[in-house]
Amino acid sequence: MTQISAAARGNPAPVTQIDHARAGAVTAAMRIVAEKEGRDPEFIREGVAAGRIAIPANIRHASLSPEGVGGGLRTKVNVNLGISGDLACEAEEWKKVDVALELGAEAIMDLSNSGKTAAFRRALIEKSPAMIGTVPLYDAIGYLEKPLVGITAADFLDVVRAHAEDGVDFVTIHAGMNRRTIESFRETGRLTNIVSRGGSLIFAWMEATGNENPFYEFYDEMLAILHEHDVTISLGDAMRPGSTYDATDAGQIAELIEIGKLTRRAWDAGVQVMVEGPGHMALDEIAANMKLEKRLCHDAPFYVLGPLVCDIAPGYDHITAAIGGAVAASSGADFLCYVTPAEHLRLPDAADVREGLVATKIAAHAADIAKGVPGARDADNRMSDARRRVDWEGMFAEALDPVRAREYFESAPPSTEGTCTMCGQMCAMRTVNQIMDGLTVDLGKE
């Protein structure tokens, strides 16, 4: 049975952001988001009430600086990190956290999948002003100390509850992979089969037990847990394409149709929603896929991984993803998950995180300019003004990665003060500034 939100029941004490928004109340989180976005608070409230905007903000995440994800807002960027069984170095993960916060990632997903992960997750939530996401399924085996086939539906819900109680702001749940989705996948086939880690685990569990996806079968029970703590559900794309060959196929679209239905059920239960999307996808398919998601999922915020626009660039997949991410976000995606140079090759280190995050932030910013997001061009205009004035400190201040920019500039000191070694005394800005100031152009001896 579909649950009704607290606001819809007339409950005088709504719990979640969407409860409050539907009750006509502008929360503190909505006001913070409105200030960050240069929007009227009522614009934010209306978007949250309609489901077009999500503000993932667990009531237990005290250090959170709330962010809005959705229509009319800046494109947000997520960083994945977490402890791996092969490289279980918590110190390295904290370096990645520091890089993510330094460069302004709006979200961090802890994808730890080995051992007891609760201590790291709780410390991350305590420290991070960025919203925190997890995939509870990854944690299930270590948390429960059971083999996959021995885990029950109730066990899976217990892990979701534990993450919610810890203060996680959004959880990826692969609820759209039900028996209908799997039937489409089996009938049509794929070059790369199922590449989602969570999706493959659910598929394996369903095949081994003969049962329906527990997150689909007991969806309402799970929504009740999420509602209690105001955890946003990020509906995972278990059938995302892992190659450009598989993009926009029957499996992907069948799951997206199911996710659209699940989106409405979550909203009815007073739970905020984000929808996850592909994946790998040729450049000419991206815009249509963004529009399709918005249509089938009722304008819910869309969260995409890339998409990667070709399959042959291991070591450079942060570039293939940034190309796709810029097109995706300019065509309607609201949230980009970064991809690092280590994608498909190994667990990224802190240097990889920096490369991947900056590439994705460039994609997000480029899309915001294209979409006409309020204030998107302001920093670019300040940068251009600083370049005109040859104000290096001003340029560094506006740079997405001021550390990298300064390192490059200072690595090759120019002989002519105020210039760089690209043009030296022939610097166009310097020449025109001298003319505009009524000075004699001094090119010296080249």
Phi-psi region of 25 (alpha: psi -120 to 50; beta: other; left: phi over 0): beta
240 is in an annotated binding site: yes
**Distances from the Cα of 413 to the Cαs of 77, 388, 422, 433, in angstroms?**
34, 20, 11, 21
61 is in an annotated binding site: no
174 is in an annotated binding site: yes
198 is in an annotated binding site: yes
332 is in an annotated binding site: no
- For residue 37, what are the contacts with CB-CB under 8 A and spacing of at least 6? 44, 68, 72, 73, 74, 374, 375
58 is in an annotated binding site: no
DSSP β-bridge partners for residue 170: 133, 232
Q: Are 316 and 359 in contact (CB under 8 A)?
A: no
239 is in an annotated binding site: yes
406 is in an annotated binding site: no
Q: 60, 58, 56, 59: which is closest to 73 by C-alpha?
A: 56
Angle value at C-alpha 263, between 70 and 80, nearest 5 degrees: 55
280 is in an annotated binding site: yes
Helices 197-209 and 179-188: crossing angle in degrees, nearest 10, is: 100
d(CA 425, CA 419): 7
368 is in an annotated binding site: no
303 is in an annotated binding site: yes
436 is in an annotated binding site: no
220 is in an annotated binding site: no
d(CA 49, CA 201): 34
Q: Are 334 and 301 in contact (CB under 8 A)?
A: yes
**Distances from the Cα of 418 to the Cαs of 15, 215, 224, 315, 394, in angstroms?**
56, 61, 61, 36, 13
114 is in an annotated binding site: no
395 is in an annotated binding site: no
238 is in an annotated binding site: yes
DSSP β-bridge partners for residue 199: none
* Residue stretches of the annotated binding site for Zn(2+): 280, 344
Q: Binding site, residues?
A: 80, 109, 138, 174, 196-198, 237-240, 276, 280, 303, 344, 420, 423, 427
Q: Which residues are annotated as a binding site for substrate?
A: 80, 109, 138, 174, 196-198, 237-240, 276, 303
Which residues sit in the known binding site for [4Fe-4S] cluster?
420, 423, 427
